[in-house]
Amino acid sequence: MPEGHSIHRVARVHRRWLVGRHFTADSPQGRPEVARGLSGRVLLGVDAHGKHLFHTFEGDVRLHIHLGLFGRIRHFRGDAPVPSTACRLRLVSDGATLQLSGPSACELLSLEEEAALRARLGEDPLRAEASLDRAYARLTRGRVPLAQALLDQGRIAGVGNIVRAEALFVAGLPPLMPVCELEREAFDRLWGAMRALLQDGVRDGLIVTPGAPPRPSPGRKRAERFCVYSRAGLPCPRCGGKVTGQSLAARTLYFCATCQGVDRMHGPRRKRAVTLAP
């Protein structure tokens, strides 16, 4: 599933390339409801929140897209190929065609429905108005492992398996600690790491974690490079110990036990106050 930086990158492309265009729409897959609502309208704005994409068309018509595990958006300039029968939505304008297939959500929402959906999402590190106080309060509820809580989109929006593994490593935090024990200073460090990785992803289209080892194939200049993600059994680039990979809530979690203090995570619990932002 695309992580938040990929969706924000799509939103940026759509704002630059598609906003202001007049579109006709159809659904080769045979689901015409959304297409009927969009056809003949001008795209006015595009926004992303976490892994969710929002398009606003004239007449206050709002399109919500969530790609899920199998969704794909293809863009074409000039002539586009004939879409497959799996294409859920096709938007066509002079010089620009968008084809969407396999999304988990492709729906029209009212203003109130969109607001309700956004309210259920956690704070997005890529959004300028994100509140660290609200993010901290949501993230640290309960005693689930920190790494599991980070993938809960109602706590922090846009973080996926790559960003959680790399950000926890950069911040030096034990992924299995109860989330309620996360101190505010440690959270701020973690938030900064997540935000930096996601911002790099938006800018470059890929993530290269600071300190990540070079790839075995030096000829591949544009390739993602990680410190712990998908490197189970390989040496940690910081301490040389082996990176651990283990299952957590049906996902594989990667970490360095030494650098991330896993052996110290059962130390005395310190009390802390949680203050909800107004």
Q: Do residues 71 and 101 touch, judged by C-beta distance below 8 A?
A: yes
256 plus 178 within the same structural domain: yes
80 plus 192 within the same structural domain: no
Residue 249 lies in a domain: yes
Is residue 221 annotated as a catalytic residue, yes or no? no
Is residue 16 annotated as a catalytic residue, yes or no? no
Catalytic residue among 72, 215, 220, 251: 251
Domain boundary among 120, 145, 161: 120
- Work out the pLDDT band at 275, boundaries 50, 70, 90: very low
Is residue 2 annotated as a catalytic residue, yes or no? yes
Residue 202 lies in a domain: yes
What single-letter DSSP state applies at residue 43? E
For the record, the structure tokens of 62 come out as 């709002």
96 plus 219 within the same structural domain: no
Residue-number span of the structural domain to which 143 is assigned: 132-264
Give tens-digit pLDDT for 154-178. 999 999 999 999 999 999 999 999 9
| DSSP-assigned beta bridge partners for residue 195 | none
69 plus 162 within the same structural domain: no
Whole-prediction pTM value?
0.90
Residue 111 lies in a domain: yes
Catalytic residue among 9, 51, 138, 164: 51
How close are the terminal C-alpha atoms of the chain, in Å? Answer: 33
Residue 278 lies in a domain: no
Backbone φ and ψ of 91, nearest 5°? -115, 125
Domain count, the chain: 2
pLDDT of residue 78: 80
Domain boundary among 94, 120, 146: 120
Is residue 138 annotated as a catalytic residue, yes or no? no
Domain boundary among 120, 144, 177: 120
Instruction: Give kind and range of the element (H or E) at residue 14.
Output: helix 4-17
Q: Do residues 94 and 135 touch, judged by C-beta distance below 8 A?
A: no
Kindly list the distances between the CA atom of residue 236 and the CA atoms of 167, 183, 185, 209, in Å, as whole numbers in the listed order.
15, 25, 25, 13
Residue 274 lies in a domain: no
157 plus 82 within the same structural domain: no
65 plus 143 within the same structural domain: no
218 plus 102 within the same structural domain: no
Q: What is the CATH number of the domain that holds 213?
A: 1.10.8.50
pLDDT of residue 272: 44
Residue 203 lies in a domain: yes
100 plus 146 within the same structural domain: no
C-alpha closest to that of 57 among 44, 74, 70: 44
Residue 62 lies in a domain: yes
User: How far apart, in whole angstroms, are the C-alpha atoms of residue 52 and residue 64?
Assistant: 7
Give tens-digit pLDDT for 203-236. 999 999 999 998 766 665 668 999 999 999 999 9
Q: What is the CATH number of the domain that holds 54?
A: 3.20.190.10
